[in-house]
């Protein structure tokens, strides 16, 4: 093996933390590409999403996870927590994300669930909100005392600040080994999955609080012909009145959801998309483990 190959670093870093701290925004910022969906509402991410960043000297395999639920024990939350635990089993490093200025009970609970013996980096996100070192430094000192972190790094995922420093620290914690993925690989997820996620993101961003948590998305058709993709997506809701909310007056809301999702799909896939979105009512899918299984967590 040449000296160059021997010094190449490659490994997996799980991004974990309580809901809404900015894990998915961080993944996208690190990749320089919008891959994982984000919104101002907690529990946006429901699936593990892997994003690969390839540099000449290192390949980072990031795993974005659902925000770890410390309160509610329903089937959906249990499924989300299982997804997080499964993601942690095989990683080389954990990126534990908190919000600058806030280290609360839910953060400590998540911290307590992390595997011992895996280097854990504390990522203090939303540093832009603290407005400067006078408030940041005491917070960093306090947070650093919560656990034996391998490093503590303040960043702003939204403003993309200090990400180079985070990558440098992270690279040093990864094993020396050749790349696991081809250089052009972005994710392990299919375009079909990403299409469903982008529709789900628009539900979170364009609707109020009631509907997105009771909605699932399934892709009924995904056909690629040359550079053109034809995609049919069903939004699954629990109640008739939720269908009315998603459709909106004269169909305006559904149109806005479909237009925004199509634009993101075209940017991510790099080609034209014909997208059709409609709404189905399926009672109580969030409250029933059987319904979750039958939908397949892939499609939730």
Ligand X SMILES: Nc1nc2c(ncn2[C@@H]2O[C@H](COP(=O)(O)OP(=O)(O)OP(=O)(O)O)[C@@H](O)[C@H]2O)c(=O)[nH]1
The residues binding ligand X (CB under 6 A) are 19-25, 38-40, 42-45, 66-67, 125-126, 128-129, 156-158
User: Cβ of residue 35: shortest distance to Mg ion, in angstroms?
Assistant: 11
Site for Mg ion contains 25 (CB under 5 A): no
Cβ atoms within 10 Å of 55's Cβ, excluding its own? 13
Query: Which is closer to Mg ion, CB of 20 or CB of 54?
Result: 20
Query: Which is closer to Mg ion, CB of 129 or CB of 239?
Result: 129
Q: Which of 109, 130, 111 is nearest to 121 (CA)?
A: 111
Site for Mg ion contains 24 (CB under 5 A): yes
Residue given tokens 């806005």 in the structure block:
256
Q: With CB cut-offs between 5 and 8 Å by kind, which of Mg ion, ligand X, none does residue 69 bind?
A: none
Query: Which is closer to ligand X, CB of 11 or CB of 17?
Result: 17
Q: With CB cut-offs between 5 and 8 Å by kind, which of ligand X, Mg ion, none does residue 39 bind?
A: ligand X
Angstrom distance (rounded) from CA 40 to CA 21: 10
Q: Which of 137, 121, 126 is nearest to 159 (CA)?
A: 126
Query: Which is closer to ligand X, CB of 177 or CB of 286?
Result: 286
User: Cβ of residue 144: shortest distance to ligand X, in angstroms?
Assistant: 19
User: Cβ of residue 155: shortest distance to ligand X, in angstroms?
Assistant: 7
Residue/partner pairs of 151-154 with CB below 8 Å, 24 or more apart: 151/121, 151/122, 152/121, 152/122, 152/124, 153/121, 153/122, 153/123, 153/124, 154/100, 154/124, 154/127
Query: Which is closer to ligand X, CB of 93 or CB of 273?
Result: 93
Q: With CB cut-offs between 5 and 8 Å by kind, which of Mg ion, ligand X, none does residue 218 bind?
A: none
User: Cβ of residue 200: shortest distance to ligand X, in angstroms?
Assistant: 11
The DSSP call for residue 115 is P
The tally of CA atoms less than 13 A away on the side-chain side of residue 211 is 28
Angstrom distance (rounded) from CA 190 to CA 195: 9
Question: Which stretch, 36-44, 46-54, 98-106, 133-141, contacts Mg ion (CB under 5 A)?
Answer: 36-44
Query: Which is closer to Mg ion, CB of 48 or CB of 253?
Result: 48
Site for Mg ion contains 45 (CB under 5 A): yes
Q: Which two tokens stand for residue 14?
A: 């799980």
Cβ atoms within 10 Å of 190's Cβ, excluding its own? 12
Binding site for Mg ion (CB under 5 A): 23-24, 44-45
């Amino acid at each position: 093996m040449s000296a160059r190959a021997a010094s190449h670093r490659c490994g997996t870093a799980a991004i974990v933390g309580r809901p809404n701290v900015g894990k998915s925004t961080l993944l996208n910022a690190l990749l320089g590409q919008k891959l994982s969906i984000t919104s101002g509402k907690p529990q946006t991410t429901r699936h593990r999403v892997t994003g690969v960043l390839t540099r000449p000297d290192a390949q980072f395999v990031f795993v974005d996870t659902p925000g770890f639920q410390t309160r509610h024990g329903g089937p959906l939350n249990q499924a989300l927590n299982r997804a997080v635990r499964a993601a942690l089993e095989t990683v080389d490093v954990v990126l534990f994300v908190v919000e600058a200025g806030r280290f609360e009970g839910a953060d400590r609970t998540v911290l307590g669930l992390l595997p011992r013996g895996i280097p854990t980096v504390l990522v203090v996100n939303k540093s832009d909100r603290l407005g400067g070192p006078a408030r940041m430094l005491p917070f960093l000192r306090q947070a650093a005392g919560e656990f034996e972190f391998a490093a503590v790094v303040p960043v702003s995922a939204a403003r993309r600040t200090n990400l180079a420093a985070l990558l440098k620290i992270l690279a040093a914690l990864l094993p020396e080994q050749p790349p696991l993925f081809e250089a052009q690989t972005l994710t392990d997820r299919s375009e079909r999955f990403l299409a469903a996620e982008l529709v789900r993101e628009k539900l979170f961003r364009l609707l109020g609080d009631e509907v997105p948590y009771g909605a699932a998305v399934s892709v009924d058709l995904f056909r690629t012909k040359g550079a053109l993709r034809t995609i049919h997506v069903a939004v699954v809701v629990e109640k008739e009145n939720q269908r009315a909310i998603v459709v909106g007056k004269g169909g305006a809301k559904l149109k806005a959801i479909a237009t925004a999702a199509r634009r993101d799909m075209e940017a991510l896939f790099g080609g034209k998309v014909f997208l059709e979105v409609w709404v189905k009512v399926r009672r109580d899918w969030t409250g029933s483990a059987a319904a979750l299984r039958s939908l397949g967590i892939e499609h939730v």
